Amino acid sequence: MRKFILIGLVALAAGEVWAGGFGLKPGLWQTRVVKQVIDGRDTTAQIAGMASKMREAMANVPPEQRARMEAMMKDHGGPSMGADGTVKMCVSAAQAHRDAPIVDRTGHCQPSIVTHSGSRTTFTFHCSSDGNTTTGKGESTTVGGDITTRVDVTTRTASGATHVIHSESELKYLGPDCGDVKPMPMPQASR
């Protein structure tokens, strides 16, 4: 069960590592996990299966409750999951003009080095919170309205467990109108 939870958190986190200053535009974006490897094991198919199970679970929720849950996610800038496992998110002008990757939505983990070279951006990060440590590096490449990102992360928990994660994701620009998908909250810089 713990491994299932870890995979779920990593899948959600993979969609959150995105960067500005190199092609991210305000508007609606669609993201998808292309590849996810945890501790040497390819979990890409499991992530796709989890997305399918989440959609099935939502289909079994009474319509009124489902509508409330979907509205709550939209009101708080939560992403909108598509039938194919893609996630739609709205990027505000402030987020698009940010010159560093957003590693987590809370702002606890800020990139320490960001380098831009043409259509390529590389970044590193090192974060500690509650005895847990996360270090990593990533690279994003922009071609037209598409951004591909590769991230390698090592986490060490307070209990001493270590996990190594490799993630590849794609962002595709859908247009300037977010429709009813609200922008995700801007992360606050950690103090």
| Domain assignment present for 189 | no
| Domain assignment present for 186 | no
| Domain assignment present for 180 | no
Q: What is the pLDDT of residues 95-145, one digit of tens each?
A: 887 766 666 656 667 777 888 898 898 989 888 888 888 899 999 999 988
Reply yes or no on whether the pLDDT at 17 is more than 70: no
User: CA-CA distance, 101 to 105, in Å (whole number)?
Assistant: 11
| Domain assignment present for 170 | yes
Q: Which long-range contacts (CB under 8 A, 24 or more apart) does 66-74 make?
A: 74/180, 74/181, 74/182
| Domain assignment present for 188 | no
Separation in Å, CA 54 to CA 48, 58, 137, 143: 10, 6, 30, 31
Name the domain count of the chain: 1
| Domain assignment present for 183 | no
pLDDT reported for residue 86: 78
Question: Domain range holding 117?
Answer: 2-175
